Amino acid sequence: MSIRMMVLVLLGAFANTSVFAGPEDADTRLADSRLKQPDAIDISLTPVEVQSTMEMSEKYATPKSTAVTRFQADNLIVPQSSQAINWAQIQDSGAIDVGDVLKSVPSAYSGNSRTAPFASMSWKIRGFDASVTRNGFRQLFFEDVDQSAFSNVERVEVIKGPGSVALGMEGLGGSIHMITKRPERDFSGSAHVTLGQYDTKIGGFDLTGAIGDTGLGIRLNGEIERSGTFVDHQDIDRDNVGLTLTWDRGGPVRAFFMTEYQQRESSPNPGLPVGFSGKRSTYLGEPAFDYLNTWSPLIQTWLEIDIAENWTLSPRYQRFEFNVNQQQVRLRDPIGGGLISRNGRFNFHERDMTDTYELELKGRFDLAGMAHQVALGYTAERHEWKGDWSNFAGVTAINPYNPVYSNVLPAVGALSTFSGQADTDEFYVQDLIKLTDRFNLLLGLRQVESRIDTPDSSDQDDRTNTFQVGASYLLDPQWSLFAGMSTAMSIEGVIGGISADNKPFEPERSRQREIGIKHQSDKLSASLSLFHIRFENATTEDPSNPGFQIQSGEQRSRGVELEGAWQAASDWYLSGGLAYIDAEITKSNDGDVGNRLGNIAHLQANLWTRYRLLPNVHVGLGANHVGERYGTISNTYKLPSYTTVDASLAWQIDPRLKAELFVQNLFDKEYYTGNNNFSVYRGDPLTAYARMMVNF
């Protein structure tokens, strides 16, 4: 679809958006006059009229979050950097996937585009891997099924730096925390259709309401996409649906149930050779037999039981699966004649199943003249995985500038299998202490006992403590100083790893030290921080036993980050940020001390602005800059810096009808993200699409 056709569709469209605020968090019912935070700002979108004077700073504001703490807390007094992007901003910015959302976080690496398989494995915060959680539960690969599934997401909260005390294992550089939508008391609904270039076709809906006076609320939403991409021979077909039920009769017990199902069918794009200068749409797999199918069902449920004044007990449960069927061809070293060698896997299958059980107690109390807000609990996670595949033998080489596909399935080697189980038991406590009217202290501890059992290696048993300590000082009601230290641990990177003496590897660990200043007022919110993260137990070559590794490596990331949002005028809103990150290997036996970490630029910056051109017409403009960086940690190639610009136009035709036009990468800038030592992915080119929305 051409841009001219987009504009014509926009001018003839009748649609609108609907954003629903979730119900008040249970913690806000536990009000203590000395700890009670200001009432959360309602982010519901009032139907727009010509006379509307709603401030955009109010529309996009999230002054409280659960990113760093297990309970809802005022961002101004929490002694660690975090950032929240709510549903209104996700919609108005035209974000297509989680990577687009992360572009508004200065220290985040937004990773590969959704044309790459398993994009979440490339997301990073402050130089290191980011974990993903949903409603406080850890997720393993769930976002890899459909990273564009926003239909059930209310907001995205990003913890900057390790945060294992609040959100559990993984996240050596930070965490991406998804908060899902909740039912509303009054019936309402919305539907949208998106049409765009590369045969983009997306449709979705969102329905919510209460069932009589039973106390039962229901929300049903979903999305379906049948689209092409800018990559030849690659389509994206995806479906997601979410159902949420809540029960609250105003008594001491409240109930929550949410289930989601996501699936995605595409091709496992192998990327392009390093240094490639041909067509960005080139596909170098084998269209005749490549495929990538992923699907995942998810269930989350919990109770909130008021056991005493200001105290709530919550049993919680999560069950989800991650399933993959894949057949792929991968790029390897260049060979003579301008050809690229390739290998691949035949009929790869993976099945992951995770059950999580939690029991959490939250409350408020006074002790020795100090007000405490606490959470303590126990988490048990049981994760099993299994799979099998066969390697292709003799995959034909390919000329990337003139690809000729074989269309013949290569010979297949012997069947390989894998399986294992990782069990963890975690105990945690977190306490936000109001020492004085100005001075707040946050303390936290999580003990993790992990047991990993795989058929091909010795069992790995470990006990690890992670901690959090920080303080904030209110200079006045709008400004605060903060300092803190937080840690994280991860077992995903060491599963199956052993040393030469057959001892299993210990969990990887990270530790952050951070100081900064925050501001929060009606028109302006901002934070400035200095950080230093050390990553320990990185695997490196064993100098005494070639072919084996030891855990004596270390990496370091340090820098400064500034981010903020400003209502410059009643019709003009801006948000943006800047991060300088110095991330490198500091200890290694592999001869790579001093190497910069892969895909981490020294300088990253972003800016997004929205202006009310007419009472019912808004224009938006965004820019994202990423500096020069190495594609991988081996530093074998560099990727050039780039700046992309996005634009949007929104027309609120009447209180129920809205039409929007989005153009991403307005100036068609070519840019790359690193994949491995053999291949890179090109970023999305200029892409335009129109969205039509109706509210009822």
Residue-wise DSSP of 312-368 = EEEEEEEEEEEEEEEEEEEEEEEEGGGEEEEEEEEEEEEEEEEEEEEEEEEEEEEET
In a domain, 78, yes or no: yes
Residue type, 304: E
Asked if 304 and 244 touch (Cβ cutoff 8 Å), the reply is: no
Mean pLDDT by 10 residues, the chain (696 residues): 41 34 37 35 36 65 79 92 93 93 95 88 92 92 85 94 91 94 95 96 97 95 97 96 96 97 95 92 95 96 96 97 95 92 95 97 94 97 95 94 92 93 95 96 96 81 93 97 95 70 81 97 94 90 71 92 94 96 93 92 97 95 96 92 97 96 96 88 95 96
In a domain, 455, yes or no: yes
Identify the CATH number of the domain in which residue 44 sits. Answer: 2.40.170.20
Asked if 645 and 610 touch (Cβ cutoff 8 Å), the reply is: no
pTM (predicted TM-score): 0.89
Q: What are 408's two structure tokens? A: 């013949």
* CA dihedral over 70, 41, 244, 158, signed as positive or negative: negative
Domain membership of residue 515 as a residue range:
3-58+71-339+350-695
In a domain, 63, yes or no: no
SS3 sequence, 43-85?
Answer: CCCCCCCCCCCCCHHHHHCCCEECCCCCCCEEHHHCCCCEEEE
Q: Please give the distance of CA 400 from its chain centroid, rounded to a whole number.
A: 33
DSSP type of residue 665: S
Distances (CA, A) of 25 to 100, 152, 371: 28, 17, 20
Supply the pLDDT for residue 539.
78
Distances (CA, A) of 442 to 63, 111, 168, 203, 499: 18, 32, 17, 44, 38
Residue type, 590: D
In a domain, 378, yes or no: yes
In a domain, 65, yes or no: no
Distances (CA, A) of 586 to 266, 538, 556: 39, 11, 6
Phi and psi (nearest 5°) for 600? -110, 110
Number of domains in the chain: 1
From CA 132, how far away is CA 176, in angstroms rounded? 5
Q: How do beta strands 174-180 and 128-134 pair?
A: parallel
From CA 365, how far away is CA 586, in angstroms rounded? 45
**Torsion from C-alpha of 648, 652, 658, 659, nearest 10 degrees:** -40
User: Which of 370, 297, 336 has its CA nearest to residue 142?
Assistant: 297
137 burial type by CB count under 10 A (0-12 exposed, 13-18 middle, 19+ buried):
buried
In a domain, 610, yes or no: yes
Q: Give the ranges where 646-687 is alpha helix by DSSP (H).
A: none
- Residue 465: how many other CB atoms lie within 10 Å: 13
Supply the pLDDT for residue 491.
83
Q: Is 98 helix (H, G, I), strand (E, B) or coil?
A: helix
| Radius of gyration (C-alpha) of the chain in whole angstroms | 25
291 burial type by CB count under 10 A (0-12 exposed, 13-18 middle, 19+ buried):
middle
Q: What are 382's two structure tokens? A: 């049981």
Supply the pLDDT for residue 45.
33
Q: Please give the distance of CA 109 from its chain centroid, rounded to a whole number.
A: 10
Q: Is 495 helix (H, G, I), strand (E, B) or coil?
A: coil
User: Which of 217, 213, 191, 218 has its CA nearest to residue 202?
Assistant: 191
In a domain, 252, yes or no: yes
In a domain, 64, yes or no: no
